[in-house]
Amino acid sequence: MRLILLGPPGAGKGTQASRLVELYKIVQLSTGDMLRAEVAAKSAIGLEAKAIMDRGELVRDDILVAMIAHRIDQDDCRHGFILDGFPRTIAQADSLALMLSNKGMNLDVVIELKVDDAALLARIEKRVADDAASGRSVRADDNSETLKKRLLAYRQQTAPLVSYYEAKGLLNSIDGMQPVDVVWQDITTILAEK
Ligand code: AMP
């Protein structure tokens, strides 16, 4: 099972991906998490990516493509993976298609979580408040100023992937504003049909 979870920041991709990891015993590849690990390690990539992430902009395609290419070659990905936060541009999607076909692999499905901008802002603000209240560290890019830029990046650079994958017959869209368990039910229904 190789699938992409597509959706704006705060749409619930991470939550649903964790459930998929449990159910299908496949790995979650979150490029946001990978980049945050690079930032924490102060690697060359991390040093370059930090300011871009803090501004809510997208990190260079070639960095992300190299990161994913390296990751999917690892042994734990042989049964499948969930791409969470990648691809985010058409160029990344084209590179992914090439990468997979070179390995004789294919994508099974793309699931889009649709959520409107006002709901996203409310969700992220709640995440920040909850994290602060429970003493967890708040993500540097979780604030309404940066979120607006992340949403703009999504609408301008990532949303074109919806029609890209629709044209390939891979797209399934779900109303991401439903309760988490209903979204989960919709996802498992889609996957059961694959
Ligand atoms: P996320 O945790 O997926 O919201 O990602 C956090 C930040 O990491 C994004 O706002 C981008 O700056 C960067 N990032 C994550 N994935 C990608 C990607 N596929 N392409 C470009 N930048 C990315």
Distance 32 CA to ligand 1 centre (A): 5
* 139 is annotated as an active-site residue: yes
pLDDT of residue 129 exceeding 90: no
Helix (H, G, I), strand (E, B) or coil at 167: helix
Using an 8 Å Cβ cutoff, are 17 and 30 in contact? yes
- Spatial distance between the Cα atoms of 101 and 119, rounded to a whole number of angstroms: 37
Using an 8 Å Cβ cutoff, are 83 and 165 in contact? no
Residue 124 φ/ψ, nearest 5 degrees: -65, -40
* 55 is annotated as an active-site residue: no
| pLDDT value at residue 127 | 79
pLDDT of residue 173 exceeding 80: yes
Q: Which residue has the CA at smallest separation from atom 19 of ligand 1?
A: 86
pTM > 0.85: yes or no: yes
| pLDDT value at residue 12 | 92
Mutate to test the pocket of ligand 1, among 5, 13, 54, 59 (most ligand atoms within 8 A of CB): 59
Binned at pLDDT 50, 70 and 90, residue 141 comes out as: confident
Q: How distant is the alpha carbon of residue 175 from its chain centre?
A: 16
Q: Which residues have C-beta within 8 Å of that of residue 111, sequence separation ≥ 6?
A: 3, 4, 5, 6, 172, 173, 174, 187, 190
Q: Considering just the CA atoms, what is the radius of gyration of the chain in Å?
A: 16
pLDDT in tens, 67-100: 999 999 999 999 899 999 999 999 999 999 999 9
pLDDT of residue 133 exceeding 80: yes
Using an 8 Å Cβ cutoff, are 147 and 124 in contact? yes
pLDDT of residue 140 exceeding 80: no
